[in-house]
Structure 1
């Protein structure tokens, strides 16, 4: 898809991507700014709403408080409470109380005679004699509010209460009636709670929840009437009963709420704002204090629900941004085509012409901008390419002739090397005693000889006498031509050692070979990178006496009848090792029908298998036991097949030589005539 777009599409797409990338942080910053503006206006909105509600609350309650104070401080009220039974005082009180009743917002008043506990309630014009509605008693739990109020030091309190007797839910203004320091009773008026809530609470703006609390946090007004702390002005409240504002916020935020209430109390007329979780929901609280009533007006604002900002401007703004972006991309695409793509198209045509071999095509170079500089540079490059091409073609022709001549010389040298290696292989095979083995042992022996290269450093030896046979394998250091040259030297050393000590003592032969190796090669004068060591294993077989003698240098002799396996290790050091070691003969019984095997380490070290590990002693020994009773020629073929199967795709690592032999019980006639024990 990227190829089909072309430079115009790619540049436009790049511009769009850049705009989108730049738009992401811009939107984040803009959203943060909108949220800050929204919060600012929300705070101001909540503050102004709280101040307005405070004024709406102060006016009616202050009026009721002033009327209640005048009513409680009236001389007529005090005289009547001194002697409630006096008809004249009662008549004057009823007349004056009727005037106050008509002025109270609830059209009702109450008076309590502290001496008798009689509770007088007037909510209608007097009709006959004034009689108490009921009598308060300290033993009645519902009347405890009065006795708690009278025992307090304040001269008045404002209390939300449900009078169970009168079945009225009221905001009461309770003012003590005192005369010359003596408390005569309690008097005042009230505001009907339902009207109050409709005016100040339920008539609230969307997203706003107004509440009225006293100095202890008790809810005096709340849209949910079950939250209102009835008789809170005269009775204690439980901490977590849901009727205190503190119980609606988490414990860790209550100290902040207390501080806000304290600050609002110290600065009446100011609004204190704080963020809280109100019943698990985030809210912005605005707290204001009304000193006349000793109340707090608290407004809880839900920033998500409050209509602070109008969202109708959002989609026009998005459409405007999209239009600006589309216009910007169109202008950018046109400018890119006019200023860049068209000149590049002409440059592309010239490049194709030069690629086709037409160097005469030229571009207009009159422009002074980067495109003009590119055109001039391209024209200069075309001239240089034409010149370099001509020179290069001449050099290629010359180098081709030189390369053909060098290849011919290499082919001649390769033919000479191959012929030399073939001749060396013929010579090396000539020193191997394969004919002697076939003549004396026939099918009682088998040989696996596999040099890694055309020639190698392994060979085997055989010497027959009237008393028996000397057989062995020798592994010289190195491969290829160096290894084959070492075999020539080793063969001469072996022959000379046998001539000196005889064929019947393998340990003495190895010792003489070690001495001649050190005397001939002078290891101390050779570089360290040249190895002259040899591994060897020699066996002298005496068929007449049915025993054999084995000696080895790092190579072992294996014997098996197909069920058992016996391994006779050789010495731990090779011939020519820097630390010489004596070689010892091991005289063993010749077991007729057993297969004896000598092998160089190339077979054991051959890499193969899944992980490229060596063939290994355990696998080699199991192979010998498995094929011990097979004819020797078939046994050698099985050894090679199993090695090739294990090797797989891995190259041959070292030269491999394996010699195995077996002596069957000879016929009775042959034993009596004394023929050599090759049968």
Structure 2
């Protein structure tokens, strides 16, 4: 035991020893707990990734099964099994699902009937559909089935057959099916990894390899090619564990390279395939190694800091100072009642009494301040509730003037899409439509301002449009725009020489006549874009909007637009064009819009809407929405 005549030295040595032991103990315990938490978090993250991908694949297969299920229901509902009807139906369905399906074919229970194909494929003589694996699997189940994958001899790619039995009045008629190439799934698996030393793999329900970075393990036309014990000794062990366990915990074994690897799999429910991620032990332990290094550095720093602080404190330590220090340390917002219990008449006693006086003053002020804060907080809450209630009501009012294009213009849901996204609860963007006999008028407007001021402008403009349509009809969008411009100026006192009001709106009007097959456009600050076979053309409106005081008369111009089936029309306010996705970069711009339309014009309007919405969400990940956004797309059928 350390011996010294100086109590200060004894306290110093004892304090240092206690400090070192405490830091060591806390550091070791913290590291062990942190190590386990970090490992669990890594496993959880990888499990979530594999599960998310498995769900994506599951949805992909489910879509294919739904197509076959729907087709089988159509055939059963029609009751017509003639060759002419079935071939026609299959061809129509191929056109509808051209992006998903290359052919449909039907095999019959009656062996005197030859199998039918939607693309005109004629089976060879002696072809018996009833002995095919897909036929047998389908007749043994009341639901849609997926066959085992196999390599197509012609394309060399993996194929799965989706099949469903056809029944009439409970009697088996045959089987409807299609072959789907799972190349897309394989590409996703092959390109997927979560780190430098990781890869993804895909196994079927038997544990046979469908996708793997090592090409020799992949199936061929002759069938599956399981790794032998020389190339991957623990492959069978991996499969046995997968086939027998019920959870998706990590499996740690050697992979085909011989290195220790962690495997985590998730099941694709539709066919019980296993999607997995393999990560090498070195990659897996990187965060843990960083954690170990960090704790080592933190431990050394803590020791040095602790020793330094302990040395300085204990060196000058005396009992009254310790007591006062403890009292001061205990005094906080959570404990304002603590007081120093020192009654000596020396400097320490004077300091303690001064502290107690200060603590009394702070305590009294704190109680008074808390009362005032609570009162003010309640007042602010009541005001905020009233403001939010008013905004909510304003939102409902503005929603009332935003039309349902499907109902108002008589459009099919596949003929159009509309996106209306105010920057705030309410906004200055709007669209409006009117139908009179065979004429249909669509108006898109971007009014001055955001929030409540912008919303008031949209309601004013909507009222003016209603009145103009009643007064002069839908004969000419140019006349309607001129009348709306005049009425809006009157409402805003734009022509008053004593006041120059800078409010107004950018407007686009599109009038089409279903009987005459004509399309007319007039714009004020907003352009119209058309897409035809990948070619995008812009029809510019006048550079100025309506309602503003420009010091001169504005003459707008009508433009005749091609009207033909398949042509697609797009109108957007500048909120989408100006929206950036990086604080230091500019907006999307017309050039970006044109490129996006060229990329997606062949999609259905419903899918195009999803693309635009995803683009908007992507741009709002790091920055706030700058302006109200409105996008309208229409296709002539």
Query: Greater CA radius of gyration, 1 or 2?
Result: 1
TM-score of the superposed pair, with normalisation by structure 1: 0.43
TM-score of the superposed pair, with normalisation by structure 2: 0.46
